[in-house]
Amino acid sequence: LKDVVKVLHSTVGSRGTVGRYGGEEFCVIAANCSVEEGAALAERIRATIQQSLLVPYSVTTSVGVASSI
């Protein structure tokens, strides 16, 4: 979980806020972000986790995006 958090913080940067939502669940809040921008950020997060944590783990990620704009 600590390695996932490191990837989230490095990928999201100042663009949003990362928080733990549940046991193995995290939430990223990106203000003033369209659905398209949110989807692009989510895909970057997913791909980075997959690449960065392939060894020694085999981490998979599922993401969802919602917007209130």
CB 52 within 8 A of CB 11: no
Burial of 32 (0-12, 13-18, 19+ CB in 10 A): exposed
24 catalytically annotated: yes
The residue annotated as part of the active site, out of 24, 25, 36, 37, is 24
Active site residues: 24
